């Protein structure tokens, strides 16, 4: 299959045929295929995409977290960006879990690159990547006792007392 024959519609069709209801929804913002899947199925679906004979999503471009506090039951998200080098085709996969139990299976079994990216996501969002061999902080200082990009924590440094809140939008 040449590069032209892979496109958003054909990949989505193949995914729907294989996984059916597991593809919770899909969208194409700015022409970028985005699907949502259940968190516990992430390894199965991404492995299928990676090992598919024509789709060949062989590269994990990015893995990151996101926090939507108003999205009850689906507050915490993990977003995967996949890239097929042979087809020059990219797509985005999202999965969401509840803030109370932020557990997502690790992707290390498929991509070694997931190791540090999952550590970073754990560092900032507290997402537990089940099966990760070494899930500890990577960017923030080891003594930090919270996950700073969760929305309930202020972005500003809380130790400052010399700034007038009125001028800093607090």
Partner 1 sequence: MVKIVDAPEGVEGHGFFATSLDKVIGMARANSLWPLPFATSCCGIEFMATMGSNYDLGRFGSERLSFSPRQADLLMVMGTIAKKMGPVLKQVYDQMAEPKWVIAVGACASSGGIFDTYSVLQGIDKIIPVDVYVPGCPPRPEQIIEGVMKIQELAKHESLRRRNSDEYKKMLESYNIETI
Count of residues that bind partner 1 according to CB under 8 A: 14
Q: What would the DSSP string read from start to end of 20-65? A: GGG--EEE-GGG--EEE--GGGHHHHHHHHHH-TTT---EEEEEEE
> Cβ of residue 79: shortest distance to partner 1, in angstroms?
22
From its phi and psi, is residue 3 left (phi > 0), alpha (psi between -120 and 50) or beta?
A: alpha
Candidates 22-30, 77-85, 111-119, 156-164 — which segment interacts with partner 1 by CB under 8 A? 156-164
Binding mask 93-132 for partner 1 (x = CB under 8 A): ----------------------------------------
Binding of partner 1 by 159 (CB under 8 A): yes
Instruction: Give the whole-angstrom CA distance, residue 151 versus residue 107.
Output: 25
Binding of partner 1 by 152 (CB under 8 A): no
């Amino acid at each position: 299959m040449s590069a032209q024959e892979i496109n958003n519609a054909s990949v989505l069709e193949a995914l729907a045929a294989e996984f059916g209801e597991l593809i919770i929804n899909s969208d194409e913002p700015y022409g970028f295929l985005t699907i949502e899947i259940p968190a516990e199925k992430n390894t199965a679906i991404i492995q299928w995409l990676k090992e598919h004979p024509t789709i060949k999503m062989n590269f994990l471009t990015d893995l990151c977290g996101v926090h939507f506090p108003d999205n009850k039951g689906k507050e915490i998200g993990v977003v995967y960006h996949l890239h097929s080098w042979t087809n020059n085709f990219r797509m985005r996969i999202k999965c969401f879990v509840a803030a109370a139990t932020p557990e997502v299976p690790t992707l290390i079994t498929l991509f070694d690159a997931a190791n540090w990216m999952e550590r970073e996501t754990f560092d900032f969002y507290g997402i537990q990547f089940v099966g990760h061999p070494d899930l500890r902080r990577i960017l923030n200082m080891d003594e930090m006792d919270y996950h700073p990009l969760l929305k309930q924590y202020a972005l500003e440094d809380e130790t400052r007392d010399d700034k007038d809140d009125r001028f800093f939008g607090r």
